[in-house]
Structure formats: structure tokens, C-alpha cells
Amino acid sequence: VGAVGSVLGTAVAYATVGPALGPDAWRVAACLCASYVGGSLNYAATAQALGLAAAPGGQAALAAGMAADNLAMAVFLSALMVAKADPPEEEKEKAFASRRIDDSGDGIVGETGGNEARVANGRTVPTAVPTVRTAACALATALVFLECGKLLARWLG
């Protein structure tokens, strides 16, 4: 369903603005569609199959398309990180139950806080509270993987 939506969306977008973007717009549109369906490797493979880099002005179109793809992905993933979603009801109950612990044995239930885990009666009870620190660590990890991919691509030629 997602792939069909990507193909149809690409066709509509190209019909709307494609002719104004120059002679390589159809190639860039095809590469972007391939990227949305299967990732950045599909973008590169489609660009190679269509001869985008060999076309006059194709190198610039290839770079602009990759930049647009990465920017759109960064905006989309950032929006997903800040969007709050309510878990299904049974997940809410499990999360609430996992946060309630009796760590003293006196029958009084305490609550954990933050994103830490507490050890109670020999077991770890994780909490599910996302923080700015967690989001920053996730973003930093993604950037490290991105840079490793760039280095690998340069090394492989």
C-alpha cells in the first residue's frame, strides 16, 4: 500500500511541478520515488540505471535530489520524534503496572521517575518517559551511522 501511494504521489507531483524543474526532473522524480519505496540505495541504483549523472546537468540534479531527499527525511523523522502518540489501552496498563513497585516490602507502592530504571526486590523496572537527552542520543547515533555510511561509500568508490 505504501509503495503504491509513493508511486501515485510521485506521478501527481511530477505532473504538477515536474515540467518546471528542467529536463532531468523525470529522472529525479523516479529516483526520489525509488528512495521512498526502498531507501537511499534504491535512489542511487535508479540514478545509475537512468543515467542521471551522465546527462548534461545531471550531476547537479543528482546532488540536489539527494539533498532534498535527506532534508525531507530529517524533517519527517524530527516530526515523528516530537509527535506524541497514545499507546493502546492494554499498553498503558502494562506501563502503569511496571512503574508501580514495592521496594521496601512494607506494602507501600512507590513510583519511579525520569528515564532511569530502579531495582526492586532484585528486578529492574524500566520507565517509558522519553526525554530530551534520549532524543539527542538517538539523533547523535543516527548521525554517526550516516557519517560511517559516507566514509564507507568513499572507501568503496
Q: Report the 3 state secondary structure along 53-104.
A: CCCCCHHHHHHHHHHHHHHHHHHHHHHHHHCCCCCCHHHHHHHHHHHEECCC
Task: List pLDDT tens digits, range 94-130.
Answer: 555 555 555 555 544 444 444 445 555 555 555 556 6
**Claim: this prediction has a pTM higher than 0.75:** no
Q: Residue 89 and residue 139: Cα distance in Å, rounded?
A: 29
Task: List pLDDT tens digits, range 135-144.
Answer: 788 888 888 8
Task: List pLDDT tens digits, range 53-88.
Answer: 887 877 888 888 888 888 888 888 888 888 877 766
Task: List pLDDT tens digits, range 15-33.
Answer: 998 888 888 888 888 998 9
Q: What is the pLDDT of residue 69?
A: 85
- What is the overall mean pLDDT for the chain? 76
Q: What is the pLDDT of residue 108?
A: 47
Q: What is the pLDDT of residue 12?
A: 92
Strand partners, 119: 124
Q: Residue 119 and residue 128: Cα distance in Å, rounded?
A: 15
Q: Reply yes or no on whether the pLDDT at 8 is more than 90.
A: yes
